[in-house]
């Protein structure tokens, strides 16, 4: 599925106490439905929790969708900005020109800003699918706090991407 029509679904991880969270499992269900509906050939799981947990690998193992898509693990990203930058290289290596990022609704604004700002600069169309989830005040508060950092984080990952691989 290469070329201008190639598409992928990207799922940033979320873990709790060393395991992918229930929220993340719901995102995987939504991502499986999106991948099926859109005919995506690749699904990218991205994330390494601060505790060193390999979120991306856990998501791959928990994948509820079709076995006929390429499942790719990007295990190094620790922030949403890093999720965007590090999943981008997976997409570019595969000639993917269209990506749908599946996230929780309260995370959608930051995902649009960070993924859209990174992907589109490198020619990858970015769409965001916010999987429904009941509002959670703690998560909303965390998102508001994280918004303070998002411009600086996006600038940092763009600088990293534009400078190329480090030696």
pLDDT band at 87 (very low <50, low <70, confident <90, very high): very high
164: tokens are 């190329």
Q: Report the 10 Å Cβ neighbour count for 143.
A: 18
CA distances from 132 to 30, 59, 145 (A): 9, 19, 21
pLDDT digits (tens, 9 = 90+) for 21-35: 888 889 999 999 999
CATH architecture of 3-163: 3-Layer(aba) Sandwich (3.40)
Q: What is the pLDDT, as a whole number, of residue 149?
A: 72
Distance CA 4, CA 142 (A): 36
Arithmetic mean of pLDDT, 92-107: 93
pLDDT band at 59 (very low <50, low <70, confident <90, very high): very high
Distance CA 166, CA 8 (A): 26
Q: What is the pLDDT, as a whole number, of residue 14?
A: 77
Contact 76, 48 (CB under 8 A): yes
Helix (H) or strand (E) holding 28: helix 22-38
Q: Which residue has the higher pLDDT, 93 or 159?
A: 93
Arithmetic mean of pLDDT, 14-22: 75
Query: Distance from CA of residue 60 to its chain's centroid?
Result: 13
Q: Which residue has the tokens 């099926």?
A: 36
């Amino acid at each position: 599925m290469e070329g201008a029509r190639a598409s992928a679904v990207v799922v940033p991880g979320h873990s709790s106490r060393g395991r992918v969270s229930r929220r993340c499992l719901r995102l995987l269900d939504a991502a499986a439905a999106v991948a099926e509906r859109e005919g995506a050939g690749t699904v990218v799981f991205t994330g390494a929790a601060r505790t060193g947990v390999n979120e991306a690998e856990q998501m791959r193992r928990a994948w509820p969708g079709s076995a006929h898509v390429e499942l790719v693990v990007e295990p190094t990203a620790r922030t949403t900005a890093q999720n965007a930058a590090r999943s981008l290289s997976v997409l570019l290596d595969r000639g993917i020109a269209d990506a749908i990022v599946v996230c929780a609704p309260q995370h959608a604004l930051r995902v649009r800003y960070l993924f859209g700002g990174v992907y589109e600069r490198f020619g990858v169309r970015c769409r965001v699918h916010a999987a429904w989830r009941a509002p959670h005040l703690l998560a909303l508060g965390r998102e508001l706090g994280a918004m303070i950092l998002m411009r600086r984080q996006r600038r940092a990952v763009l600088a990293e991407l534009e400078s190329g691989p480090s030696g």
